[in-house]
């Protein structure tokens, strides 16, 4: 049975924990966490009280009712009239709504204390920060400042994060995630299928409603590999605009790699001389080498300036599972997936120099994807996925190998029943393991740090930094409406 057939067997829904959570600034072992939390062990980290799953996602379920076209002129129910999420309370004290939501971010996020170069990244990434006040949004400004939003429509998931800047980072006030598998079948047909587009538009309509209800003033709404690769990607983007009012930006691969770095650099070990950061997606996988041998004490967002090389592989968990099968994965099938991925790694610039840097012993891996969060959750023996224990966790090389072997030995039904995998991801997780295994065989590091964060956090960090919300002044500066696009 292939990935598409397995999808038909899926169902069920996971409860949605609290959305009003914080990133970063928290008490750790009886003292205040530093500005850039790069701790030496997972036990020191006190991230969230919720869960959020990256590219392969852990949310989703059956659709309820038909999608309706969203009319920005129509009124929406107030927060207090919506059904409560499990444990979720909004800033105003009203229940936070959307029983279909499955993403929860947690803690107070700290991007670091250095702002980006407004002109150009020193490693070749252009400083593109297109964003504008969200069209049609009601102004809900409060004493705490404006709201920002980041939306990531990937090959597998549709995810939204809404946050308010604070003195040392930002507080997430609402979040949404749903598995849509927009890229289903694109590898074979080169086109987005109608059922996949319907699922994505339904999820985007929910995101549009949240943006309106929250009164978001600054946002960046991106689409990635599925829309890049599909011949009808532009048609789909126009349809999204017509049916939901959302203007999605199809970003290139280097932008996707940069945003992944911006969202995760706060987890870089403060003593590391280098990092291999990878983001295993649904339709592509990004790998970035941060060369920190001359970091001179730089931390947090400043580390984005040390990108030495990057690559984007045209393989992710969805298209790899569709090519090789994701349900009954034999040893031969798994090795074929690894070889498929390895063939794309040969073109990585400075690959031999990276190998030499790793030999010095100061380089660690940093992974942001559902694959690595699954490995961490299984390693920790979690009865239910807990982001507080996963985000920032360290895994030794032999532990990663043991967890990959453990997942490979699990039959499909056991993967479905595992609380850190579930039915939505049971046919994708081994494809993710194959991508990770190919990376590890090419560049072997002694340690891997797990990040349950990524593109959305990177988007929010760049938007807020561009608006100077963390400059040395009282309170965040209101975003400039003239800077964005209409």
Q: Which residue has the tokens 């691969």?
A: 253
E strand or H helix at 286, and its extent? Answer: strand 285-291
Angstrom distance (rounded) from CA 142 to CA 145: 6
Angstrom distance (rounded) from CA 123 to CA 308: 6
Q: Which residues of the chain have pLDDT under 70?
A: 1-144, 472-486
| The pLDDT value given to residue 480 | 53
Helix (H, G, I), strand (E, B) or coil at 183: coil
pLDDT (tens digit per residue) in 88-130: 223 322 222 232 233 334 445 655 433 333 333 333 333 333 4
| The pLDDT value given to residue 194 | 97
DSSP 53-77: --TT-S------S------TTS---
Other C-beta atoms within 10 Å of 88: how many? 22
DSSP 308-371: EEEEEES--HHHHHHHH-SSS--HHHHHHHHHHHHHHHTT-TTHHHHHHHHHTT-EEEEEESHH
Strand segments (E) across 90-240: 148-153, 157-166, 169-179, 218-223
Helix (H, G, I), strand (E, B) or coil at 28: strand
| The pLDDT value given to residue 479 | 55
Q: How far is CA 310 from CA 122, 337, 349, 379, 440, in A?
A: 14, 22, 7, 29, 16
Contact 110, 24 (CB under 8 A): yes
Angstrom distance (rounded) from CA 299 to CA 46: 19
Q: How far is CA 207 from CA 227, 265, 278, 450, 460, in A?
A: 18, 27, 27, 27, 16
How much is the pTM?
0.71
Angle at 277 between CA 113 and CA 297, to 5 degrees: 35
Six token digits for residue 289: 């080498």
Angstrom distance (rounded) from CA 425 to CA 25: 32
| The pLDDT value given to residue 248 | 97
Q: Which residue has the tokens 């956090």?
A: 457
């Amino acid at each position: 049975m292939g990935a598409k057939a397995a999808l038909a067997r899926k169902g069920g829904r996971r409860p949605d924990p609290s959305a009003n959570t914080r990133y970063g600034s928290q008490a750790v072992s009886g003292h205040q966490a530093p500005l850039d939390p790069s701790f030496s062990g997972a036990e020191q980290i006190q991230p969230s009280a919720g869960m959020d799953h990256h590219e392969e996602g852990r949310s989703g379920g059956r659709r309820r009712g038909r999608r309706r076209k969203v009319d920005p002129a129509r009124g929406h129910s107030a927060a207090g009239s919506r059904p409560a999420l499990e444990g979720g309370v909004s800033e105003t004290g009203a229940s936070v709504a959307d029983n279909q939501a499955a993403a929860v971010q947690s803690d107070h996020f700290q991007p670091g204390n250095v702002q980006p170069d407004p002109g150009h990244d020193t490693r070749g990434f252009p400083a593109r920060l297109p964003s504008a006040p969200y069209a049609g949004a009601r102004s809900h400004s409060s004493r705490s400042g404006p709201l920002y939003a980041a939306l990531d429509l990937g090959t597998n998931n549709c995810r939204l994060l809404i946050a308010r800047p604070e003195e040392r980072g930002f507080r997430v006030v609402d979040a949404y995630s749903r598995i849509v598998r927009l890229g289903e079948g694109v590898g074979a047909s080169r086109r987005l299928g109608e059922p996949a587009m319907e699922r994505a538009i339904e999820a985007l309509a929910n995101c549009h409603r949240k943006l309106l209800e929250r009164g978001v003033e600054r946002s960046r709404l991106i689409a990635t590999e599925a829309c890049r690769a599909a011949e009808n990607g532009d048609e789909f983007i126009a349809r999204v605009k017509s049916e939901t009012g959302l203007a999605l930006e199809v970003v290139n691969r280097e932008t996707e790699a940069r945003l992944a770095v911006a969202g995760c650099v706060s987890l870089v070990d403060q003593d590391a001389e280098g990092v291999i950061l990878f983001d295993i997606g649904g339709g592509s996988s990004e790998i970035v080498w941060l060369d920190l041998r001359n970091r001179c004490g730089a931390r947090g967002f400043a580390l984005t300036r040390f990108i030495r090389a990057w690559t984007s592989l045209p393989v992710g968990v969805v298209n790899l599972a569709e090519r090789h099968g994701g349900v009954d994965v034999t040893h031969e099938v798994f090795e074929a997936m690894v070889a498929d991925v390895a063939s794309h790694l040969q073109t990585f610039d400075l690959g031999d120099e990276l190998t030499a840097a790793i030999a010095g012993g100061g380089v660690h891996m940093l992974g942001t994807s559902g694959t690595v969060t699954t490995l961490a959750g299984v390693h920790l023996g979690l009865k239910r996925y807990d982001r507080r224990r996963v985000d920032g966790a360290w895994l030794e090389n032999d532990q990663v190998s043991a967890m990959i072997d453990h997942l490979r030995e699990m039959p499909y039904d056991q993967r479905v029943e595992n609380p850190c995998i579930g039915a939505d991801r049971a046919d994708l997780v081994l494809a993710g393991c194959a991508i990770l295994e190919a990376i590890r065989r090419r560049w072997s590091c002694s340690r891997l740090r797990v990040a349950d964060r990524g593109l959305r956090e990177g988007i929010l960090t760049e938007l807020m930094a561009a608006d100077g919300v963390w400059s040395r002044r009282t309170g965040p500066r209101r975003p400039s409406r003239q800077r964005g696009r209409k």
